[in-house]
Structure 1
Amino acid sequence: MRKVLIAVASLLASTSPALADTVVIRAGSVLRDAASEPSGPATITVTDGKIVSVVPGSPAAPTGAREVDLSGKTVVPGLIDLHVHLTGDPGTDYRNEAVEPDEWGVVVGAKNALLTLRAGFTTVRDAGSAQYSGFSLRRGTAEGLIPGPRIVAAGPALSIVGGHGDTTGFREDVHSVLDQGYTCTGPVECAEKVRKASRAGADVIKITSTGGVLSQQGRGLEGHFSQAELESIMTTAHSLGLKVMAHAHGARGIESTVLAGVDTIEHGTFADEAALKAMKAKGTYMVPTLMALEGVRARLGKGVYTPTVEVKGRQAVEAAGKQVQRSKQLGVPVAFGTDAGVFEHGRNGEEFALLVKNGLTNREALASATTVAAKALGMEGELGQIAPGFSADLIAVDANPLVDIRTLEKVRWVMERGRIAP
């Protein structure tokens, strides 16, 4: 009997929970959030992916804890990019869509997820991908199978037939083969496609409310959906607990989308006073993606784009940045997003200097990628701050970003959900 009891005890010991994984970070300075000032030397304790404490000085570490020496660095909350396309790279010929399988997008996405993480972005909103590639990446980074940020994934965007987001530029028989089934006409069909996206696993609904710069449709950058269709999309998504992000360039397209109840406007390139007043009244966030137009600017006139895209690209580049200036003047919240994929992944941090160039303070720019972005996601109790109970999403930089915003372009160390980036 004694041998049996010993064997049982041994088995129970082998199956009992492992000791908590604790990491102690010795920081030269900690900037807890964008509204704070940097501290002096401080110690951040992380257990099982959550921040447990942030205390001054260098107290003794718990037994068995790993220690990280960042005594020469400023530790800042992990950054959030609300608009990326992990499965794509810039300058790709649109005809590749008819050649490359969706699985290739996961390979490209894994590469770009690591680049994005190393750039300091611990959470991203993937703003459009093939049916399951973005969702596969989301699972891979969540389970730690591939290094990358937390991914809030939209999957395929909803669009009108022949509009931005639909397959365009091919013969009709090719369109029918490439179509992923997310175009809609009329309120009933648009509601159905929102439900389809929800069923497939979308965390957020992405719609293309207006024409787009890089698609082959040549009818400008104004509104696409009818008001009834927009209202159907918003009502259905919100009833399912999903936020809606809208690609929108033209002013009237922005205004109609906002009046229908959208949560964030992506790009907002030609937003005028009427559109921005509607955004202010509705509490809609502006996600300006200025780096996207820098990516377009670098490729104009070089034979990269078709003539259709060249025309729209020049129009958009000329207006770049004005939406940030006007948003600040009218009190519209600006949240950080880059449209990485239109330019090279890993350069996301260059958006900060563009935001400052166009009127935000360093503090406002940092907030746009931390507390403001977290609120836009509905995750303000989990992300955007260094505080007990928050996810251990942390980065280390050489200087105080409130003084030198460009220090965020060269992130030296990253932790995402308690995992140190390779």
Structure 2
Amino acid sequence: MTTTHGAHGICLSLLSSLSLSLMAALCSHPALAAETDSAPATRTLIQAGKLFDAHTGKLRSNQTIVIEGEQIVSVGAHQDGKPGDTVIDLSNATVLPGLIDAHTHLTGEPKFGYEELGISTPRAALTGAKNARITLLAGFTSVRDVGAPAYADVALRDAIDAGDVPGPHMIASGAALGITGGHCDNNLQPYEAHAQADGIADGVEGVQKKVREVIKYGASVIKFCATGGVLSKGDDPEASQYTFDEMKALVADAHRLGRKVAAHAHGGDGIILASEAGVDSIEHGSYIDAKGIATLKKNGTYMVPTIYLNTWLLDNADKIGLPEFYLKKEKAVAAVSFKNMSNAIKAGVKIAFGTDAAVYPHGLNARQFAMYVQMGMTPAQAIQSATVNAADLLGWADQTGALDAGKWADIIAVSGDPLADITLLENVQFVMKAGAVYKNNVAK
């Protein structure tokens, strides 16, 4: 026991006794004790004139969404706010779940060919911060980012999660896996540069090690190139790249370590091999045929049709200086992909919305909805592809994709009825992510 001596010590002792007595008196009063234990929860109420039910694909009228903190606590018939509530009047708008883009490259821009070689990783990360904000304000509150240099996407995700920069909830792949000389490699430089992309791995042992490596450095999804691509030199979009044994080993390790797998695949054989190997999604699917469609349906594999990029690239090829060796492949893919993807949609393949934004400017993501409708979806199905379907693909169905109690308060609104005019989603007026309002231009 410590003893305090002298007049100063006596004063401290008296003050200590008085403080204890005062605290005891305060805590003994029921009302004051309750205030000390916890402050009353603050609520935000969104008054929705129309609300899109992502489960049924229908609109509900005069609904109130009650939010506490980052989560929705209830959705139901109109109710008035209580004293202390924040009320957001969206009675003249249609309210929807925040949209999800399952195929983005936030750290990239539409810069192709040898111009790509001059972009440093720090520059890519700063570009990503700009594009994250643009994407969020366009109404996309969640994205799956599938490929970035030197884990710039992982750094961006972590910065968003820390509140350092505004942006959507983000799943990041880090380096995309690919074979030596394939679509995911760096094929623009000559031999003496000894240039190789971060995700290159060959053979069963090689892909197993690379999966573990990208997870070590922060990947929350695994992306690999099952076929050649369009915006790459010296490869064929229709040709398979990894062998079936390599794909099986890659997928098995990823799934065992708790990561889903996205396979870039344009060609028919690569689509089938990747689906049979157990991937969670096929990205693009340009040359998918009847056998590929049947395989995806049998295995329950999602397809992410990135169709709008063809329109934008061909319309802007001269303006952006698209190299001829890219343009030739782009024209060939664009000539067949709309019909093939339409066949997959009409046949009932599971579809999740994804755009490949970075091939065209970020923020234009919602232009793809109209093309999904042109390919055979109803407007409600197109919206569901970017809400409940995409949330299921990402493994986030318990957190987002619908306006349900317990999910993140990720909410957007548009003026008018998007089931009558899907292009309204290209001009989102209200954006809330995790209970925070980032945009509100809804007319009163």
The answer to whether TM tops 0.5 is yes
- Distance apart, 1:14 and its partner CA: 12
- Distance apart, 1:419 and its partner CA: 1.4
In structure 2, the gaps of 5 or more residues are 1-16, 28-32, 440-444
- Aligned pair 1:134/2:150, yes or no? no
Residue-by-residue CA offset, 1:196-228 (whole Å, 9 max, x unaligned): 111111110000111111112244432111111
After TM superposition, the structure 1 stretch with the greater mean CA deviation from structure 2, 95-104 or 185-194, is: 95-104
Amino acid at match of 1:296: L
Match of 1:174 in 2: 193
Cα 1:297–1:21 shift into 2, 3 Å: farther
Give runs of aligned pairs for residues 19-418 of structure 1, distance below 5 A: 20-61=41-82, 63-90=83-110, 92-176=111-195, 179-300=196-317, 304-418=321-435
Cα 1:6–1:132 shift into 2, 3 Å: farther
2-side partners of 1:206 and 1:29: how far apart?
38
RMSD: 2.2
2-side partners of 1:118 and 1:181: how far apart?
31
Q: Secondary structure at the match of 2:234?
A: coil
Cα 1:104–1:19 shift into 2, 3 Å: farther
1-side partners of 2:134 and 2:264: how far apart?
24
Cα 1:362–1:219 shift into 2, 3 Å: closer
2-side partners of 1:398 and 1:24: how far apart?
19
After TM superposition, the structure 1 stretch with the greater mean CA deviation from structure 2, 220-229 or 271-280, is: 220-229
Amino acid at match of 1:85: H
- Distance apart, 1:22 and its partner CA: 2.4
Cα 1:189–1:218 shift into 2, 3 Å: closer
Contact in 1 for aligned 2:227/2:236 (Cα 8 Å): no
Amino acid at match of 2:183: H
Q: Which runs of 4+ in 1 moved over 4 A?
A: 4-10, 12-19
- Distance apart, 1:257 and its partner CA: 1.1
Contact in 2 for aligned 1:131/1:180 (Cα 8 Å): no
- Distance apart, 1:330 and its partner CA: 2.5
Cα 1:381–1:167 shift into 2, 3 Å: same
In structure 1, the gaps of 5 or more residues are none
Contact in 2 for aligned 1:301/1:310 (Cα 8 Å): no
Q: Secondary structure at the match of 1:70?
A: strand
Match of 2:13 in 1: none
TM-score (norm 2): 0.89
Residue-by-residue CA offset, 1:375-419 (whole Å, 9 max, x unaligned): 111221221111111111110111222222111111100111111
Identity of aligned residues (%): 37
Residue-by-residue CA offset, 1:323-357 (whole Å, 9 max, x unaligned): 33211333211110011110111011111000001
Cα 1:172–1:413 shift into 2, 3 Å: same
Residue-by-residue CA offset, 1:139-186 (whole Å, 9 max, x unaligned): 22223221111001111100001111111111234343xx34321111
Residue-by-residue CA offset, 1:52-90 (whole Å, 9 max, x unaligned): 1112123223x4222211121111111110001100111
Contact in 1 for aligned 2:58/2:380 (Cα 8 Å): no
Q: Secondary structure at the match of 1:148?
A: coil
Contact in 2 for aligned 1:204/1:242 (Cα 8 Å): yes
Amino acid at match of 1:2: L
Cα 1:211–1:6 shift into 2, 3 Å: farther
How many residues get paired?
417
Contact in 1 for aligned 2:150/2:198 (Cα 8 Å): no
Structure with larger Rg? 2
